[in-house]
C-alpha cells in the first residue's frame, strides 16, 4: 500500500475508531503540551507502530508545538525480528532510531531462567527512560490500548488480590522530570488490528527470545473471558475501564495512598 493511503486511513477511514479516541485522551489527560519533547517507544508490534504514525500526524497538524523522537530498543531480537523491525520502519516511513541492548540475555541470567519476564520488563523500561533522557525528551509515549488497561485491572483483581490500573499519564519514579503517557487509552485493540490488516502491515508479535510469559497466557484467558461477557453485555469493556474512575472509598475495606495503607476501621478509632 502507498504511504499516502496509509497515513490518510488514520485520519479518514479510521477516524472514529482511532483518531478521535486518540485525540480525546490527548486533550482529556493533557498528554502532550507546548514545549514537550515526546519519545515514541516502538517495540515493533502493531500498537506502537500505529502510535508512531498517529503522533506523527498530530505533530504535522496540531496547533500544539512539540518535538518528537521515534526510538526502538533491540533487547536481543533474532536477526529475523530485527530485519522485520527495520523493514516496517521503511514501510511506514518512520524516521526512527534503533538502539541495541542485552536485556534478554541479562534478564535470563539474573532470573536463572525462572520466568524472567518481570525483570525483562523493568530493564526495558529503564533503557527506554535512559535513551529518552539522552535525547532531551520529557515524555515517553507507549502503545498500551484500552484492552491492555482493562485486562490489567482484571488480572490484578482475579490473580493478585488488589485493584490497580494503568494510568494514562504517570510520573517516572527514578528519572526526574520524565513522564510516561498512554495516548491509546481509549483505543480498542480490535480497531488497531483492523487498521493493521487494512494497511497490510506485518508487525512483530511476541519477539522474546527467552520464554513465553505466564502473564501472556493469563492475559489471553482474561481476554477470552471479557469477550464472552461482551456477548451479553456490549458495554462491559467500558464498565471495567470506568471502574477505576469511580472507586468509592467509603465502601472499601482498605486502600493505599502515597504508599501509606488505610483501613475502614479508622472511622471507628476516633
Q: What is the mean pLDDT of residues 128-152?
A: 95
Q: What is the mean pLDDT of residues 61-75?
A: 94
Is residue 109, in this structure, part of any structural domain at all? yes
pLDDT band of residue 231 (cuts 50, 70, 90) is very high
Asked if 223 and 73 count as a contact pair (C-beta separation under 8 A), the reply is no
Q: What is the mean pLDDT of residues 39-47?
A: 95
CATH code, 151: 3.40.50.620
Is residue 262, in this structure, part of any structural domain at all? no
Is residue 270, in this structure, part of any structural domain at all? no
pLDDT over 70 (residue 213): no
- Counts for the chain of helices (H) and strands (E), in that order: 10, 8
Please give the tally of structural domains in the chain.
1
Q: What is the mean pLDDT of residues 114-122?
A: 65
What is the distance between the alpha carbons of residues 98 and 74, in angstroms, rounded to a whole number?
7
pLDDT over 90 (residue 47): yes
Q: Output the average pLDDT for the chain.
A: 91
Asked if 253 and 263 count as a contact pair (C-beta separation under 8 A), the reply is yes
pLDDT over 80 (residue 85): yes
What is the distance between the alpha carbons of residues 33 and 23, in angstroms, rounded to a whole number?
13
Range of the domain at 153: 3-248
pLDDT over 80 (residue 102): no
Burial label, 192 (beta-carbon count in 10 A; 0-12, 13-18, 19+): buried
Is residue 203, in this structure, part of any structural domain at all? yes
Between the two ends of the chain, the Cα-to-Cα distance in Å is 68
- DSSP lists the bridge partners of residue 69 as 39
Is residue 202, in this structure, part of any structural domain at all? yes
pLDDT over 70 (residue 206): no
Residue in 38, 43, 31, 32 with CA at minimum distance from that of residue 68: 38
For residue 212, the model assigns a pLDDT of 53
Is residue 55, in this structure, part of any structural domain at all? yes
Q: What one-character DSSP code corresponds to residue 172?
A: -
Q: CA geometry: angle at 34 spanning 141 and 179, to 5°? A: 35
pLDDT in tens, 168-194: 999 998 888 999 999 999 999 999 999
For residue 113, the model assigns a pLDDT of 54
Which pTM value belongs to this model?
Answer: 0.91
Is residue 258, in this structure, part of any structural domain at all? no
**What is the layout of strands, in order, in the sheet containing 139-141?**
96-100, 67-74, 37-41, 139-141, 179-181, 169-171
To the nearest 10°, report the CA torsion of 127, 133, 135, 138: 120
Is residue 155, in this structure, part of any structural domain at all? yes
For residue 205, the model assigns a pLDDT of 77
What is the distance between the alpha carbons of residues 228 and 231, in angstroms, rounded to a whole number?
6
What is the distance between the alpha carbons of residues 47 and 27, in angstroms, rounded to a whole number?
20
Amino acid at each position: 500500500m502507498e504511504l499516502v493511503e496509509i497515513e490518510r486511513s488514520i485520519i479518514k477511514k479510521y477516524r472514529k475508531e482511532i483518531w478521535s479516541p486518540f485525540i480525546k485522551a490527548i486533550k482529556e489527560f493533557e498528554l502532550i503540551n507546548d514545549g514537550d519533547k515526546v519519545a515514541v517507544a516502538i517495540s515493533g508490534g502493531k500498537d506502537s507502530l500505529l502510535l508512531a504514525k498517529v503522533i506523527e500526524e498530530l505533530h504535522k497538524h496540531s496547533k500544539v508545538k512539540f518535538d518528537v523522537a521515534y526510538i526502538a530498543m533491540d533487547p536481543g531480537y533474532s536477526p529475523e525480528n530485527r530485519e522485520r523491525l527495520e523493514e516496517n520502519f521503511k514501510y511506514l516511513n518512520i524516521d526512527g532510531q534503533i538502539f541495541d541492548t542485552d536485556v534478554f540475555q541479562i534478564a535470563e541470567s539474573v532470573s536463572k531462567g525462572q520466568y524472567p519476564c518481570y525483570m525483562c520488563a523493568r530493564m526495558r523500561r529503564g533503557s527506554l527512560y535512559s535513551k529518552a533522557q539522552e535525547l532531551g525528551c520529557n515524555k515517553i509515549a507507549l502503545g498500551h490500548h484500552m484492552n491492555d488497561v482493562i485486562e490489567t485491572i482484571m488480572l490484578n483483581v482475579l490473580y493478585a488480590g488488589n485493584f490497580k490500573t494503568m494510568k494514562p499519564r504517570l510520573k517516572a519514579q527514578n528519572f526526574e522530570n520524565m513522564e510516561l503517557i498512554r495516548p491509546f487509552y481509549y483505543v480498542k485493540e480490535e480497531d488497531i488490528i483492523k487498521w493493521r490488516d487494512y494497511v497490510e502491515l506485518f508487525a512483530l508479535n511476541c519477539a522474546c527470545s527467552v520464554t513465553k510469559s505466564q502473564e501472556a497466557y493469563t492475559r489471553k484467558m482474561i481476554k477470552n473471558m471479557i469477550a464472552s461477557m461482551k456477548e451479553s453485555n456490549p458495554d462491559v469493556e467500558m464498565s471495567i475501564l470506568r471502574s477505576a474512575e469511580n472507586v468509592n472509598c467509603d465502601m472499601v475495606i482498605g486502600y493505599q495512598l502515597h504508599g501509606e495503607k488505610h483501613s475502614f476501621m479508622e472511622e471507628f478509632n476516633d
